[in-house]
Structure 1
Amino acid sequence: MPLANAASYPLWVNLLIFVVAAAVIWRAGGRLTRALDAIATRTRLEHVFVGMLLLGGITSLPELANVVTASALDHPRLAINNLLGSAAINILLLAVADAFVGRKAVTSIVAQPSTMMMAALCMIILMMIAALVVLGDISIGPLGLGSLFIGACCLGFFWLAASHDRRSRWKVEDEEPRRGEPDDGGISQAPLAALWTRVTLYGACLFAAGYSLSQTGSAIAEQTGMTSAIVGFALIGTATSLPELVTVVTALKLRRPEMAFGQVLGTNFVNLSLLPVGDLIYQGEPVVRTLGAFETVSALLGAVLIGVFMVGLLEHRNRTILKMGVDSAVVIVAFALGAALLAGLPARE
């Protein structure tokens, strides 16, 4: 049955599809992370690079599917709020994972300078989006000049962060040696070609399940009477961030904190670079012109959450509360306050 007509299904059917798709994402996301970790080890690739480029790109597939379908159906705000909601929720998920995996603050065990570079550049992108919403965009054919510039900056910043470790003069002198390798279920012994085949298969599962989540999530929101801004930010943003949650949890269990940070921030770079895609598909004015105060605040919320972790990365201390880093606790509180502020903003339909 075509999910493009999901709003015509009974609410219980959409809820069932939503739960099944979430379960598929949880299963495929964990296996994808383990396969990419094995590939990184076998090919001697940096785990932060694998997290940014491969995990980040693959787990952005649900957002791509939602941007394409929402823009084609003349719901550009739904598409963009999904991207901005995912940017903030991804950071929240990293904080939540910190509370459930390990006893050290996650920022105290991240050692590579490229992680801080990624955080700083991602903050800049989100602040640029907030400024663009306030100032407006200029049309160049079917594209907005501002969204095109932000898309180009995302790709350029992605490359700058991924190559930062090779240029950095920062050296880690007090990094603790890794004590043994976690059990990966024997996946690291599989042939390299088989590992890439698994990555392709799990990526396809994530795309299909993510598409199902975005479509049924939109239908559930319509059937329950929520606004497109809240739907895009909270419901669909959370739904399409499920791949990030399971991959972050798995990466931390594998004791790959750089991979976890790289995956979250890399996903944000890829997601935010999709702004021009919305312009290309939406048959109307540049999508940024359809946005307002809600999107400005949501972009700034994402920047604030990254900034909190940036402080933790610079401090590099193992200060914990309730089995999570103090910075993770601050992120959770800040997200809750930001979400309450967004809920109180007037809707613009």
Structure 2
Amino acid sequence: MPLADAVSYPLWMNIAIFLVGAAVVWWGGGNLARSLDEIASRTGMSHALVGMLFLGGITSLPEVANVVTASAMGNPPLAINNLLGSAAINIVLLAVADAFVGRDAVTSVVAKPSTMMMGTLCMLVLIAVALAVIVGDIPVAGTIGLGSILICTLSIAFFVLAAGHDARSPWVLANAGERHDPEPEPTGSASLLGLSMQAALAALAIFVAGYALSQTGDALAQQTGLGSGLVGFLLIGFATSMPELSSIIASLKLRRYEMAFGQVLGTNFVNLSLLLLADIVYKEGAVIAELGRFEMISALLGAILTGIFLVGLLEHRNRTILRMGYDSAAVLLVFCGGVTLLWQTM
């Protein structure tokens, strides 16, 4: 049975397919983080760069699948709310992982200037999305809007700017090494080719499962009557962020703190650039013109959550509550408040 007909399946079957897809995405994220960590250790690559470039890009594959399928089916709000939901949820998952690992507050052991640069630039892109929704969009190339082109350009330019920031930065924290654990030595026996194949297999699993999530998510939105906004933001947003959660936890357990932050923020850059892809696939007009107050609040919520962690990175203090940093606890509280506001907006 093709997943394109998922709306004709019984509700229980769509829920089952959705859960299996989420489990596959979880498995792929954990395996991907371990493979890329080993590759980075053997090649001497920066773990922050690996997190941002490779983990961030590959774990965005479920969002790519959802954007293409949802936009092709004529449901751009489902696609865009998945992107904005993932941007906020990825930050939340970092807070959840902080509590799960339960060592120091995660922001107290991250010292790379590029991490703070990534957070700042990611906030700016999310604010730009909110502004574009307020102002509206103007088609400039067929049905493709100027707003989506500018947001995609900003995302890519800021991604590149943040990736090279450590090499250009004139400053480092004076106590950057005080709470850092020793760098683990590479322990795997697989060759670099074998590790690359493992990473490619995990990426393929993530993409295929992401497609299944997008198809069944659209069907669940119709069958439950919750609507594309909340289903895209919460249900599909959480499901397509499963590789991020599993790989964040794996990175923190490996003490690759910069890799965890780099992955979250790198993923958000990639996800926000996909607004242009949605515009290209959707043929009935500019995607941003289909958005409204719900999406504006979603974008601003992601910016606020990122800002909270940015404050924690700048403070660089090891203050914890319930096994997590104060900033992580604040992120969880603000997210709950934001979801309540979104619920009332529907």
**Normalising TM by the smaller chain, what interval?**
over 0.9
Instruction: Work out the CA distance in 2 between the residues paired with 1:75 and 1:22.
Output: 21
Instruction: Tell me if 1:69 matches 2:82.
Output: no
Provide the residue aligned with 2:144 in structure 1.
143
Instruction: Work out the CA distance in 1 between the residues paired with 2:14 and 2:309.
Output: 36
Farther-moved stretch of structure 1 (50-59 vs 208-217): 208-217
Provide the residue aligned with 1:111 in structure 2.
111
- The one-letter amino acid paired with 1:172 is L
Instruction: Work out the CA distance in 1 between the residues paired with 2:112 and 2:50.
Output: 13
Q: In the alignment, is the contact (CA less than 8 A) between 2:109 and 2:316 conserved in 1? A: yes
Q: In the alignment, is the contact (CA less than 8 A) between 2:52 and 2:163 conserved in 1? A: yes
Instruction: Tell me if 1:281 matches 2:311.
Output: no
- RMSD, aligned α-carbons: 1.3
Instruction: Work out the CA distance in 2 between the residues paired with 1:304 and 1:245.
Output: 20
> Matched residue pairs, number?
344
Instruction: Work out the CA distance in 2 between the residues paired with 1:308 and 1:171.
Output: 21
- TM-score for both structures, normalised by structure 1: 0.96
Q: Give 1:189 shift.
A: 2.5
Provide the residue aligned with 1:47 in structure 2.
47
- Give the SS at the match of 1:169: coil
Superposed CA deviations along residues 23-68 of structure 1, whole A, max 9, x for unmatched, are 2122221111000000111111100100011000000000011100
Instruction: Tell me if 1:202 matches 2:202.
Output: yes
Q: In the alignment, is the contact (CA less than 8 A) between 2:105 and 2:325 conserved in 1? A: yes
Provide the residue aligned with 1:304 in structure 2.
304
Matches within 5 A, 1:156-195: 156-174=157-175, 175-176=177-178, 178-180=180-182, 186=187, 188-195=188-195
- The one-letter amino acid paired with 2:174 is E
- The one-letter amino acid paired with 1:241 is S
**Unpaired runs of at least 5, structure 2:** none
- Give the SS at the match of 2:214: helix
Provide the residue aligned with 1:243 in structure 2.
243
Q: In the alignment, is the contact (CA less than 8 A) between 1:49 and 1:162 conserved in 2? A: yes
Instruction: Work out the CA distance in 2 between the residues paired with 1:293 and 1:179.
Output: 45
- Give the SS at the match of 2:233: helix
Matches within 5 A, 1:314-329: 314-329=314-329
Instruction: Work out the CA distance in 1 between the residues paired with 2:17 and 2:113.
Output: 41
Q: Give 1:211 shift.
A: 1.3
Instruction: Work out the CA distance in 2 between the residues paired with 1:241 and 1:126.
Output: 18
Superposed CA deviations along residues 300-337 of structure 1, whole A, max 9, x for unmatched, are 00000000000000000001000100000000000000
Instruction: Work out the CA distance in 2 between the residues paired with 1:268 and 1:170.
Output: 25
Q: In the alignment, is the contact (CA less than 8 A) between 2:92 and 2:332 conserved in 1? A: yes
Instruction: Work out the CA distance in 2 between the residues paired with 1:217 and 1:254.
Output: 33
Farther-moved stretch of structure 1 (293-302 vs 219-228): 219-228
Superposed CA deviations along residues 138-190 of structure 1, whole A, max 9, x for unmatched, are 11123111110110110110000000000001123321375456698x5x331
Instruction: Work out the CA distance in 2 between the residues paired with 1:50 and 1:146.
Output: 30
- The one-letter amino acid paired with 1:170 is W
Q: Give 1:102 shift.
A: 2.7
- Give the SS at the match of 1:230: helix
Q: In the alignment, is the contact (CA less than 8 A) between 2:17 and 2:212 conserved in 1? A: yes
- Give the SS at the match of 2:45: coil
Q: In the alignment, is the contact (CA less than 8 A) between 2:70 and 2:214 conserved in 1? A: no
Provide the residue aligned with 2:253 in structure 1.
253
Q: Give 1:103 shift.
A: 2.2
Instruction: Work out the CA distance in 1 between the residues paired with 2:331 and 2:109.
Output: 18
- Give the SS at the match of 1:124: helix
Instruction: Work out the CA distance in 1 between the residues paired with 2:181 and 2:154.
Output: 39
- Give the SS at the match of 1:189: coil
Instruction: Work out the CA distance in 1 between the residues paired with 2:138 and 2:333.
Output: 37
**Unpaired runs of at least 5, structure 1:** none
Q: Give 1:281 shift.
A: 0.9
Provide the residue aligned with 1:155 in structure 2.
156
Q: In the alignment, is the contact (CA less than 8 A) between 1:119 and 1:310 conserved in 2? A: yes
Provide the residue aligned with 1:270 in structure 2.
270
- TM-score for both structures, normalised by structure 2: 0.97
Q: In the alignment, is the contact (CA less than 8 A) between 1:118 and 1:265 conserved in 2? A: yes
Instruction: Work out the CA distance in 2 between the residues paired with 1:215 and 1:243.
Output: 18
Q: In the alignment, is the contact (CA less than 8 A) between 1:214 and 1:239 conserved in 2? A: no
Instruction: Work out the CA distance in 1 between the residues paired with 2:77 and 2:18.
Output: 22
Q: Give 1:123 shift.
A: 0.1
- The one-letter amino acid paired with 1:84 is L
Instruction: Work out the CA distance in 1 between the residues paired with 2:288 and 2:180.
Output: 46
- Give the SS at the match of 1:140: strand
Q: Once the two structures are aligned, what percentage of the paired residues are identical? A: 60
- The one-letter amino acid paired with 2:169 is S
Instruction: Work out the CA distance in 2 between the residues paired with 1:57 and 1:46.
Output: 16
Instruction: Work out the CA distance in 2 between the residues paired with 1:52 and 1:77.
Output: 27
